[in-house]
Structure 1
Amino acid sequence: MAADSPATSTRTPPILTSEGRAWLQARHDRITSRLARIEDELGNERSQQLISEQQQLVEQVEALTHVLRDAVAPRELSDDPSIVEVGDEVEVAFSDGSTETFLIVHPVEAGMDERRTSMDAPLAAAVLGRRPGDRVTVTSPAGAYSCTLLRRSRLD
């Protein structure tokens, strides 16, 4: 699909925290560097393994380039301070009295550290659009459970 096609222009841009953008940029740079080394090696040797790796890296660079180009920071969005949105840090309480604090992020940023949770994860999906004080039911592969949204705050 072309970058300027109507389907692309109407999609919501990925939301990346500033830390996430830096992490993805560093990943992009590492992959680009490895790709350059492979292209040099291909001048000397045309192994199927190098060709396959080159193709995979080209796809990864293209995907990361699109995400980095199109991404917006949470602070660039109109924020409704009363509801949970992507880019928010949230705290939830479980029925056993434990609490968990996590940052809801775009899936591409979720692997960055233990604190980040993909917006597609069951817990994050359950609290998106909800307000502090709301009790939500989370449907996960391990079964359904409930929690209460204690707070949300917008990060950059």
Structure 2
Amino acid sequence: MSKAFTSEETPDLAPPARPGPRLAPGEVRYVTPEGHAALRAELSRLAGERAAAAALPATERPARVADLDRRAALVEATLAAVTVLAPDAAPEGTVAFGTWVTVEDEAGATSTWRIVGPDEVDPRRGLVSVHAPVARALLGRTRGDEVEVERPGGTRTLTVVDVRRTP
């Protein structure tokens, strides 16, 4: 590239901020009450960190504040895009958004997951996205129902052992 098209005086720009969730017309993005509270807590934590950034040296402060502002804007955009849906909306004993479901596979191993929105997924804590194949297969099922789920290791049959609204 020719030097005529470059500028050595242009400062390095920070990575672009990730925009909040984009919703298709008519799409609703759900979050559990606990997920909504976690997003609010994250926003509050970021505000506290931003206030604490005032104590940083002047050379570090602008970059730290900009990073915290970008992260806070993402959380605010997410909060603006989500709709809180409690598991109480689901019929008792039916797998639905926000419910906890325990399944057993062919080998007798059990797993317990909570069906949540994409903004609160945490596999280590058993929080599975409502859009995940296993969640889609389980939605609307009740105790005793069997479902087949395509997994990377092949198709697995899962039996619904328990469905509840609380952990």
Task: Identify whether the pair has TM-score above 0.5, normalized to the shorter chain.
Answer: yes
SS at structure 2 position matched to 1:155:
coil
Aligned residue in 2 for 1:108: 119
In the alignment, is residue 57 of structure 1 matched against residue 71 of structure 2? yes
How large is the Cα RMSD of the aligned pairs? Answer: 3.4
Report the CA distance between 1:74 and its aligned residue.
Answer: 2.3
| Kept after mapping to 2: 8 A contact 1:35/1:58 | no
SS at match of 2:31: coil
Please name the residue that 1:131 is paired with: 142
Q: TM-score, normalised by structure 2?
A: 0.67
Residue identity over aligned pairs, in percent, reads 27
The aligned residue for residue 73 of structure 1 is 86
- What TM-score, normalized by structure 1, do the two folds share? 0.70
User: What is the rounded CA distance, in whole Å, between the counterparts of 1:15 and 1:23 in structure 2?
Assistant: 10
C-alpha offsets along residues 79-126 of structure 1, whole Å, 9 cap, x if unaligned?
223531011111111110111122111121222851322222332222
In structure 1, runs of 5+ residues without a counterpart are 1-5
* Secondary structure, aligned partner of 1:147: strand
Q: How does 1:1-156 map to 2 (within 5 A)?
A: 7=25, 10-18=26-34, 20-36=35-51, 49-50=63-64, 53-54=67-68, 56-66=70-80, 70-75=83-88, 77=89, 79-111=90-122, 114-155=125-166
Q: Which has the higher contact order (CA 8 A, sep 6+)?
A: 1
Aligned length: 146
| Structure with the greater alpha carbon radius of gyration | 2
Contact 1:105–1:117 (8 Å) recurs in 2 = yes
Q: Whose helix proportion is higher, 1 or 2?
A: 1
Runs of 4+ off more than 6 Å:
none
